Amino acid sequence: MNGDAASTHPMWFPPDHPLVVRVRGLCMPYPEAVEAISHGRCTFRAGKRQFAIVGSAAEPAVLFVPDDLERPVLLERDDVFVPPYEGAYGWLALRIEPDAGDWELLGELLDTSYRIVALQRQLRALDERDA
């Protein structure tokens, strides 16, 4: 993990927080996945491009890049919202607690998010791993 902007932003969900630990378990198996702290939050990246962010305005949530076709359906859910700042760039967030919430759905959303931002070589490595 690196600390870009970590010194200027308070940590909302530190690396040892149960929500971060659980999200890390979903994100780190992806090819070339990297965890980094940015603006007081743990982020997960496909190389340099973020595909998951833990926490939204200190709320237990995980931000992700949705599939454009799934976006309207996701926004009908009570536990999905447009997060401040990242929402302007197409991101959505799923409210979730470490011990409650739809973790199966979150796994699917993170998979989609990774596939949207990943490089072709990362997608090939993922397909080879899954074959």
Quote the CA–CA distance of 26 and 34 in Å, as a whole number: 12
Indicate yes or no: pTM above 0.95: no
Residue 7 has what pLDDT? 52
**For residue 127, is pLDDT > 70?**
yes
Question: For residues 58-90, b (16+ Cβ closer than 10 Å) or e, as one string?
Answer: eebbbbbbbeeeeeeebeeeeebbebeebeeee
Is the sign of the CA dihedral 63, 68, 72, 73 positive or negative?
Answer: negative
8 A C-beta contact, residue 73 and residue 108: no
38's tokens: 């940015």
Dump pLDDT digits (tens) for 59-91.
Answer: 899 999 999 999 999 999 999 999 999 999 999
Question: In 3-state terms, what secondary structure has residue 89?
Answer: helix
Q: What is the DSSP letter of 100?
A: B
Quote the CA–CA distance of 58 and 73 in Å, as a whole number: 25
